Structures are given as C-alpha cells and as structure tokens.
Amino acid sequence: MNVVRSLKLAIFASTALIYALPALAFGARPFDGKAFEAAQASGKPVLLEITAPWCPTCRAQKPILEKLGAEQKFAPIVAFTIDFDSQKDLLRKFNVRAQSTLISFKGKQEVARSTGETTEAAIEDQLDKSI
C-alpha cells in the first residue's frame, strides 16, 4: 500500500514540476561568468538585471519580469542578476552606472538597455529584441 501511495505522490509531484517549469525557466540567478559566456556562445538570449535590495524601482521591475518570464515566448531567455552594491567589478565590465538597469543580449550582441524602466510594455519590447 505504501509503495502505491509513494508512486502516486511521485507522479503527482513530477507532473506539477513539469507544469511549473515554464514559469521557472526565466527565473534569474546570480551572475556566473562561465554560464553567461556559455549562454552567449550558444546564441541564447540573455538578460542581465542589475538590482539593489533597497531600490524601489528594482522592486517594481521584479513582478513585471516574473510575469513576462512566465510567458512561453520568453522561456529561452537566460537571466542573471548582478548586485549593484557588491559587484562593482561587473558594473564596470558592463558599463552600468545605476541600479534597475536591464541589459539584453542576443548571443554576444547587446541589443537593448534600459535604466529605471517600470512599464510592462517597454520591458516586454526590450525582451522581444533578444529573442
């Protein structure tokens, strides 16, 4: 009886995970140089989110990025976060001067950049340029 119950639970959990994957696919992770370079080399669309925990504009961008990231058309985007306060070397590398900056790449080519943008339509337009 426990084996059957465990099997049913495993099937349910697996099914739930499969349906959740599109929403998780866009979830940004902390910047990793090797993963960033690998994504660019493979031609994938890449998004850099430069954030700060104290930034109200960053907080306003977050639900928009989460919503758009759940859309199937944006599932291929590989997203990374860069902390504005602690990763100054990366700010210099990507020529970033302010938090709430979004940088979109199509492979190795930067295709769009915005700072302080909080309208869904404008952020969606930026993401569209990378896919």
The model's pLDDT over 88-127, given as tens digits with 9 standing for 90+, comes to: 999 999 999 999 999 999 999 999 999 999 999 999 999 9
Position 58 pLDDT exceeds 80: yes
Nearest to 116 by CA among 60, 48, 37: 60
Integer Cα distance of 39 and 37 in angstroms = 5
d(CA 24, CA 54): 24
Residue 34 near residue 42, CB atoms below 8 Å? no
Domains of the chain: 2-130 (3.40.30.10)
- Strand 29-30 and strand 78-83: the pairing is parallel
Mean pLDDT of 55-73: 94
Please return the burial class of 81, using the count of CB atoms within 10 Å of its CB with bins 0-12, 13-18 and 19+.
middle
Please provide residue 38's backbone torsions phi and psi, each rounded to the nearest 5 degrees.
-65, -45
At 1 the pLDDT is 52
Alpha carbon 66 to its chain centroid, in Å, reads: 8
User: What was the pLDDT predicted at 2?
Assistant: 55
Q: Is the model more confident about 111 or about 7?
A: 111
